[in-house]
Chain A
Amino acid sequence: MDFSFTDEQSMLRDTVASYLADHYAFDARRAAIKSEAGWRPEVWKAFAEELGILGAPFSEELGGLGGGPVDNMVVMEEFGKALVVEPYMGTVVIGGGFLKHSGHGAAPDLIEKIIAGDAIFAFAYAEPQARYTWQDLKTTATKDGTGYVINGQKAVVIGAPWATHLIVTARTGGGQRDAQGVSVFLVDKNAKGVTTRDYPTVDGQRASEVTFENVSVGVDALIGAEGNGLPLVEKVMDEAIAATCAEACGVLRRLQEGTVEYTRTRKQFGVPISSFQVLQHRMVEMFIQLEQSISMTYMATIRLSEEAQARAQAVSAAKVQIGKACRFVGQNAVQLHGGMAITDEMAIGHYFKRATMIEGVFGSTDHHLARYEALSFGKAA
């Protein structure tokens, strides 16, 4: 049993933290997310070239740093602390995850491009009707000669405006909500028939509504087995959820520490408001929620390597804790800051927005409670 980080992981953390301290101050981020592009390609370039972190979770044969989920955790936690919007999740965690787990023919080449910062991925899985049910798909991929033709609409595809590649779930068989018949495709974002409507999200990211109209792809666009893609989707999603939990830990830490700091300087009735016991106990509860969230993030990240059921149960348990913590810590951080927290100028409100959106990322608290119940108590229960 060991919860320590290797020297490489500690170095990775220091590298990311010190870069972000220099280049990702609150004002710089605020200007970037309000710009036309909504992100800073030069930061992405620096991640690739200066820091070399885009290869963190890839094996050395693939040109990576030889890490795994713990390395994603380290990066994402630091990203959470700085509210980084650049698409590490979609590209490295999810795009990279699909490529390395599927053994797709183009994987070595594409991973090389990811590591170099030249390929950016967005995961088009959600549909307007599907909420968080990953296999609820109206998007279809129909066999056509040797390839497929994709038709359908995908909702709130995070990072799609910046992406070069889309990973798309589509139905090649079965009914709309069946586990069987789910397939995963790699689609060039510039492919004919792909149209996007781009927009900012409330927490400073960019997303698109993506429409596929008779998009023709070759047989090599298929990632994993035709019609049996759901287990692969679940595996990559669980990795993405664990990484989101890590990001949340960074966000929660800033909310908790920022609140402690603020209450020590803010004076009312002639004393710092941190001297009031009712506020002290609230901040202790925030701290407990943060520590319990860190514990669950470690637990889920380590258990990503276990068999599917244990992995999914661990990940959903962690997401439930994170979801509750994001709500409690976020709302109370705002409450203790008072009116200042709901102005756009103060960083705390921006952390609150991200924490609130994380509650719903890859499944809400209720969704993951239900998933956990089904796994822990069995289908009959």
Chain B
Amino acid sequence: MNLDFSPEDAAFREEVRAFIAENYPKDLRAKQDSGEPLAKDDYLAWHKVLAKKGWVAPSWPKEFGGTDWTPTQKYIWSEEQARADTIAVLPFGVSMLAPVIYTFGTEEQKKQFLPGIYNGEVWWCQGYSEPGAGSDLASLKTRAERVKGDDGKEYSIVNGQKTWTTLGQFADWGFFLVKTDPDVKPQAGISFLLIDMKSPGIEVRPIITLEGGHEVNDVFLDNVKVPVENRIFHENQGWTCAKALLAHERSGIAGVARSKRGLERLREMAGTEQSDLGGPLLSDTFFKRKLAELEIDLTALEFTELRTLAGESSGKGPGPESSILKIKGTEIQQRLQELALEAAGHYGAPFLRDLGHNANIGPDYAQGVAGEYFNGRKTSIYGGSNEIQRNIIAKMVLGL
């Protein structure tokens, strides 16, 4: 037992750290620092740099563009990105769809779709949740029916509504779960379709969230015509694809490196803000205690993640401890946001976005905290709510 990184791993860390420092887009950094909302091209700027370098999709198999890094190297990579406060590569194409395509897709589908995902040329969005299908995803109602077109080819005609489609306003294509057989048990009648978002009959409507942001959308599908070759895997077996996707990309789900950065920022804030008891908030008996407990909790999560990683490195696959990562990771992120809002005091309140103001009121560090707090409530809800995660642990790990 030891915590030492091998000389090779230490050299790797130096290499990626230097690469980020030299190649992270300067315009993007400036926008992040000023808190300006990101445009479509901004989201893709870092992605494109990484695609050129060959580092956009470390987890993919080598033949499709993966890096063949060890779990430890992937961990270092995510740590260094967090340390440098880079934006994350959007997960929809790279982390969510691509594994489904290279696992279940045909050769033609792999050739058609993987390069566009890799290079950031095609923006993907996810069409899973529906107004009536959240945690109970399999109860989705969006229907797809097979018809023969005038051209003699087979099509699916899709009707229904999807919701919570993140950044769907920018999407070129979407991957959708649709019901293709309503007469069998829910999981058995679902198919996985790729749909061109420019197809006639698709409408994307913004959902404005509490902090005033436009991140998620409703997607309406009205007689949308989808060529049958855009279905991944067999008809009525889309649930298999969706489940595989849920199991993918466990590493990084805990967000330890990002939370460590968040904790550093919180400590800086608390070093400046004044306590009612006099002196910095960081010396306030009560606030300090909350910070210490959070820091300790994050250390425990970090080592639980490292144990998972060590298990993967030795080829054992993720053990029971890995199922904890989403629950504890999101609890810690939300606690950080909570304490940042507390620390900001009065200046957590000003909210200028509605009036279109750019001027800042109060200290810089207080600008984003309320927005992050309100927006951050999503993390324990999405990706399988934390209650669903507990059901999974109860069933799969404790055998209940």
Q: Which residues of B contact A226 (CB under 8 A)?
A: none
Q: Can you list, as one digit per residue, whether each of B175-202 has a CB less than 8 Å from chain A (1) or not (0)?
A: 0000000000000000000000000000
Q: Which residues of A contact B1 (CB under 8 A)?
A: 2-5, 70, 298, 301-302
B3 near A292 (CB under 8 angstroms)? no
Q: How large is the interface on A (under 10, 10 to 19, 20 to 34, 35 or more residues)?
A: 35 or more
Q: Which residues of B contact A277 (CB under 8 A)?
A: 391, 394
Partner of B288, one of A280, A285, A381: A381
Q: Can you list, as one digit per residue, whether each of B365-389 has a CB less than 8 Å from chain A (1) or not (0)?
A: 0000000000000000000000100
B393 near A3 (CB under 8 angstroms)? no
Q: Can you list, as one digit per residue, whether each of A1-19 has a CB less than 8 Å from chain B (1) or not (0)?
A: 1111100000000000000
Instruction: For the complex formed, measure the closest distance between the CB of A289 and the CB atoms of chain B, giving whole angstroms.
Output: 9
Contact A3 B310, CB 8 Å, known A291-B321, A292-B301: yes
A281 near B387 (CB under 8 angstroms)? yes
Instruction: For the complex formed, measure the closest distance between the CB of B291 and the CB atoms of chain A, giving whole angstroms.
Output: 8
Partner of A295, one of B300, B314, B320: B300
A6 closest partner in B (C-beta): B1
Residues 285-312 of B contacting A (Cβ, < 8 Å): 288-289, 291-293, 295-297, 299-304, 306-307, 309-310
Partner of A287, one of B280, B289, B302, B397: B397
- The answer, yes or no, to whether B72 is at the interface (CB within 8 Å) is yes
Contact A291 B324, CB 8 Å, known A1-B5, A377-B292, A381-B288: yes
A320 near B293 (CB under 8 angstroms)? yes
A1 near B390 (CB under 8 angstroms)? no
B4 closest partner in A (C-beta): A1
Q: Which residues of A contact B225 (CB under 8 A)?
A: none
B327 near A377 (CB under 8 angstroms)? no
- The answer, yes or no, to whether B269 is at the interface (CB within 8 Å) is no
- The answer, yes or no, to whether B226 is at the interface (CB within 8 Å) is no
B320 near A291 (CB under 8 angstroms)? yes
Instruction: For the complex formed, measure the closest distance between the CB of B177 and the CB atoms of chain A, giving whole angstroms.
Output: 26
Residues 315-344 of B contacting A (Cβ, < 8 Å): 320-321, 324, 327-328
Residues 243-261 of B contacting A (Cβ, < 8 Å): none
Instruction: For the complex formed, measure the closest distance between the CB of A177 and the CB atoms of chain B, giving whole angstroms.
Output: 20
Partner of A283, one of B280, B387, B400: B400
Q: Which of A20-28, A117-125, A368-376 lines the interface with chain B? A: A368-376
- The answer, yes or no, to whether B277 is at the interface (CB within 8 Å) is no
B280 closest partner in A (C-beta): A381
A372 near B300 (CB under 8 angstroms)? no
Q: In the docked arrangement, what's the CA distance between A291 and B296, Å? A: 14
Q: Can you list, as one digit per residue, whether each of B59-73 has a CB less than 8 Å from chain A (1) or not (0)?
A: 000000000000010
A369 near B310 (CB under 8 angstroms)? no
- The answer, yes or no, to whether A321 is at the interface (CB within 8 Å) is yes
Contact A288 B2, CB 8 Å, known A280-B391, A281-B394: no
A274 closest partner in B (C-beta): B400
- The answer, yes or no, to whether B283 is at the interface (CB within 8 Å) is yes
Instruction: For the complex formed, measure the closest distance between the CB of B135 and the CB atoms of chain A, giving whole angstroms.
Output: 13
- The answer, yes or no, to whether B96 is at the interface (CB within 8 Å) is no
Q: Which residues of B contact A317 (CB under 8 A)?
A: 295-296, 299-300
Instruction: For the complex formed, measure the closest distance between the CB of A286 and the CB atoms of chain B, giving whole angstroms.
Output: 9
- The answer, yes or no, to whether B398 is at the interface (CB within 8 Å) is yes
B391 near A1 (CB under 8 angstroms)? no
B289 closest partner in A (C-beta): A369
- The answer, yes or no, to whether A312 is at the interface (CB within 8 Å) is no
Q: Which residues of A contact B292 (CB under 8 A)?
A: 369, 372-373, 376-377
B398 near A283 (CB under 8 angstroms)? yes
A302 near B304 (CB under 8 angstroms)? no
Instruction: For the complex formed, measure the closest distance between the CB of A334 and the CB atoms of chain B, giving whole angstroms.
Output: 18
- The answer, yes or no, to whether B282 is at the interface (CB within 8 Å) is yes
B72 near A296 (CB under 8 angstroms)? no
Residues 248-283 of A contacting B (Cβ, < 8 Å): 260, 263-264, 274-275, 277, 280-281, 283
Given A2-B1, A280-B394, A288-B328; 5 other pairs, CB 8 A cutoff: A260-B398, A260-B399, A284-B390, A369-B293, A372-B295
Using a CB–CB cutoff of 8 Å, the interface residues on chain B facing chain A are 1-5, 72, 280, 282-283, 288-289, 291-293, 295-297, 299-304, 306-307, 309-310, 314, 320-321, 324, 327-328, 387, 390-391, 393-394, 397-400
Using a CB–CB cutoff of 8 Å, the interface residues on chain A facing chain B are 1-5, 70, 260, 263-264, 274-275, 277, 280-281, 283-285, 287-288, 291-296, 298-299, 301-303, 317, 320-321, 369, 372-373, 376-377, 380-381
30 contacts between A and B (CB under 8 A): A1-B3, A1-B309, A5-B1, A264-B400, A274-B400, A280-B400, A284-B393, A285-B390, A287-B320, A287-B398, A288-B324, A291-B320, A292-B324, A295-B300, A295-B303, A299-B303, A303-B3, A320-B293, A320-B296, A321-B296, A369-B293, A369-B296, A376-B292, A376-B295, A377-B283, A377-B288, A380-B283, A381-B282, A381-B283, A381-B288
> What are the nearest 10 A-B pairs in CB distance?
A295-B303, A280-B394, A292-B300, A295-B304, A3-B310, A284-B390, A381-B283, A317-B296, A299-B303, A284-B393
